[in-house]
Amino acid sequence: MKHVIFTSTSAKYYGFLVKHWLKSLRENVNLNNIDVVLLDYGLTKGELEKLQKEPVKVCSCKPDARVNNIRFRDMANYLKKHKYDQVLSIDGGDIIFQKDISPIFNTNKTSVRAVCEEVTLEINKFNMKMIFKDFFYEKDIKKILKTIKGKEMINCGVIFGPSDRFRKMCEEAYDLIKDKTKFGPEQIAINYVLYKEGFVRLDRGYNFMLARNDEHFYIKRGVFYYRDHEKIPIVHNVGYKLAFRPVTNFGYGPRYNKLKKFTYYSIKTMLKAFKEFEEFFLRKNK
């Protein structure tokens, strides 16, 4: 049975998706037994016509809330109608592929697989009132807090899983979210479901979040390498706003990718301080 890779886009990210995401996928990943499904949240007629020449299936979706949230609804709906063995959900606007990741489809096949950040999900009264009240229904907040408190955050940018388990994860996480126009609730919802049900941690190279881990890397002619000169499989230039992303001119090819040193080291310093504060808070509240 075939596998499937899901990503999502709109006209805003179409250029990056085709020139960098899709190009790097085609050149580095063995797609012989894999369908690539693009969830469309507002591509133009011209862009859709151009995509007919690409090795992708386009699924038109209703952009009725924030894409980060509703993509889980739409992936679940697609999987109800199409049979696959394994699923990969991956961001399409800030990720490039540098090595063949297809072997992951055949590893730990009965489990959901994802990468954890070094940030701990520390929840207190302040952020519960500011965030959780808007994100989730009152009846669910306590069980979510109890399950994820003190856990390392699972990043939703790259998630592998068997089709049935993946679909159920998407449905449960989506149903938990009260306001689907907000930024961020899907991350917490997915963390709750996976910490409740169980998952397998992937090596950080399969969702290498620049500035969000302690592993050293360097860039040479646009390619990201580990210290030992091995290419990093999946590079994620993560950041809510462009200004907070540590690499400028991010893309696939020798003319791209320049480290913004001030941004990079500022983020690392901030995350280190945040982590130390979390550890102090956890000790104080044992």
Question: Which residue ranges make up each domain of the chain?
Answer: 3-205, 207-284
Q: In residues, how long is the chain?
A: 286
60: Cα within 13 Å, side-chain hemisphere? 6
Number of H helices, E strands in the chain: 10, 14
Superfamily (CATH H level) for 3-205: Spore Coat Polysaccharide Biosynthesis Protein SpsA; Chain A (3.90.550.10)
What value, to the nearest 5°, has the Cα angle with vertex 263 and ends 207 and 91?
30
User: The tokens of 73 are what?
Assistant: 């609804």
* 163-182 residues labelled b (16+ CB within 10 A) or e (exposed): bebbbbbbbbbbebbbebeb
- The region of weakest confidence among 93-97, 105-109, 112-116, 139-143 is 139-143
DSSP 136: B
**H-helix or E-strand containing 151?**
strand 151-162
- The region of weakest confidence among 42-56, 128-142, 189-203, 246-260 is 128-142
The 10s digit of each residue's pLDDT in 24-73 is: 999 999 999 999 999 999 999 999 999 999 999 999 999 999 999 999 99
User: The tokens of 211 are what?
Assistant: 């500035």
The model's confidence at residue 128, banded by pLDDT at 50, 70 and 90, is low
The model's confidence at residue 213, banded by pLDDT at 50, 70 and 90, is confident
| pTM assigned to the model | 0.92
